[in-house]
Amino acid sequence: MEWGSAMRELSTAIDHLAAEDPSEIPRLQLTQQLIELHWQMARLQAQIARRTSVRFPSP
Protein backbone atom coordinates (compact mmCIF):
# COMPACT_ATOMS: atom_id res chain seq x y z
CA MET A 1 0.00 0.00 0.00
CA GLU A 2 1.24 3.46 -0.84
CA TRP A 3 2.37 5.59 2.14
CA GLY A 4 -0.10 8.44 1.47
CA SER A 5 -3.01 6.07 1.09
CA ALA A 6 -2.11 4.22 4.29
CA MET A 7 -1.89 7.47 6.25
CA ARG A 8 -5.27 8.64 4.91
CA GLU A 9 -6.82 5.32 6.00
CA LEU A 10 -5.25 5.62 9.45
CA SER A 11 -6.43 9.22 9.76
CA THR A 12 -9.95 8.26 8.68
CA ALA A 13 -10.06 5.42 11.22
CA ILE A 14 -9.00 7.81 13.98
CA ASP A 15 -11.65 10.31 12.86
CA HIS A 16 -14.31 7.58 13.14
CA LEU A 17 -13.17 6.77 16.66
CA ALA A 18 -13.23 10.46 17.61
CA ALA A 19 -16.81 10.78 16.34
CA GLU A 20 -18.07 8.03 18.66
CA ASP A 21 -19.29 8.68 22.18
CA PRO A 22 -17.60 5.99 24.31
CA SER A 23 -20.22 6.40 27.04
CA GLU A 24 -22.83 5.04 24.61
CA ILE A 25 -20.88 1.85 23.82
CA PRO A 26 -21.96 -1.23 25.80
CA ARG A 27 -19.36 -2.18 28.43
CA LEU A 28 -18.39 -5.54 26.86
CA GLN A 29 -17.99 -3.98 23.42
CA LEU A 30 -15.99 -1.10 24.90
CA THR A 31 -13.69 -3.57 26.65
CA GLN A 32 -13.12 -5.42 23.39
CA GLN A 33 -12.46 -2.14 21.59
CA LEU A 34 -9.94 -1.05 24.22
CA ILE A 35 -8.03 -4.31 23.90
CA GLU A 36 -7.96 -3.99 20.11
CA LEU A 37 -6.98 -0.31 20.26
CA HIS A 38 -4.08 -1.10 22.60
CA TRP A 39 -2.96 -3.91 20.30
CA GLN A 40 -3.06 -1.63 17.25
CA MET A 41 -1.32 1.18 19.17
CA ALA A 42 1.51 -1.22 20.08
CA ARG A 43 1.85 -2.18 16.43
CA LEU A 44 1.98 1.48 15.40
CA GLN A 45 4.57 2.25 18.10
CA ALA A 46 6.68 -0.66 16.83
CA GLN A 47 6.67 0.85 13.34
CA ILE A 48 7.60 4.27 14.72
CA ALA A 49 10.49 2.65 16.61
CA ARG A 50 11.66 0.83 13.46
CA ARG A 51 11.82 4.11 11.58
CA THR A 52 13.39 5.98 14.49
CA SER A 53 16.23 3.46 14.72
CA VAL A 54 17.23 3.69 11.04
CA ARG A 55 20.89 4.56 10.76
CA PHE A 56 22.10 6.20 7.59
CA PRO A 57 25.65 5.55 6.38
CA SER A 58 28.15 8.27 7.11
CA PRO A 59 29.16 10.30 4.03
What DSSP character marks residue 53?
A: T
Evaluate if residue 32 carries a pLDDT over 90. yes
> Identity (one letter) of the amino acid at 59?
P
pTM: 0.80
How far apart (Å, rounded) are the C-alpha atoms in residues 33 and 36? 5
pLDDT at 58 over 90: no
Over range 14-34, report the average pLDDT.
Answer: 97
Residue 45 pLDDT > 90: yes
